[in-house]
Amino acid sequence: MTDIAVPESHADLLALAIAPAMATIGPGGEPQCSPVWFEWERGVIRVSLTTQRQKYRNLVERPRVALAFVDPDDMYRSMELRGTTTSIEPDIDNALLNRLAKRYLGIDAYTFDADGTERVVVSVTPSHVTTWQ
């Protein structure tokens, strides 16, 4: 796997509190796509997922991922990152989820999961980038 550099022209999209569409591959080979909150740090994208969701099951079985970022001020300016899940680990004390809640909602702790919800941190290292505009 090769680390990729996000072009300077689109690096700002990774600093915005936007929810890129994250596509995974379902059990029958079909795409499954939904928006996710994310964190970008040192070339790695991290998301917090519940273990009850199809997206989690897809990533356990088929770790390939694509994320589509659209500029909220210019829908024709966008970026796609493709890569592979490099780790899936417990989101201990919802540490990542709480950082994301601060970023996206302005609150210190995410308290909306049902009791007993199990969360994991999915780390994705992009290996391909495509930009538009």
Query: What's the pLDDT score for residue 3?
Result: 62
Q: What does the H/E/C string look like for 41-100?
A: ECCEEEEEEECCCHHHHHHHHCCEEEEEEEECCEEEEEEEEEEEEEEEEECHHHHHHHHH
Residue ranges covered by each domain of the chain? 11-132
Whether the per-residue pLDDT at 126 is higher than 70: the answer is: yes
pLDDT at 1: 47
For tokens 């928006």, the residue is 35
End-to-end CA distance of the chain: 27
For 55-108, what is each residue's pLDDT tens digit?
A: 999 999 999 999 999 999 999 999 999 999 999 999 999 999 999 999 999 999
Architecture of domain 11-132: Roll (2.30)
Write out pLDDT tens, residues 20-52. Answer: 999 999 999 999 999 999 999 999 999 999 999
Quick one: which of 88, 82, 96, 75 has its CA closest to 23?
82
Closest to 20 measured CA to CA, from 73, 84, 80, 69: 69
Amino acid (1-letter code) at residue 30: E
Pairwise CA distance, residues 33 & 24, whole Å? 6
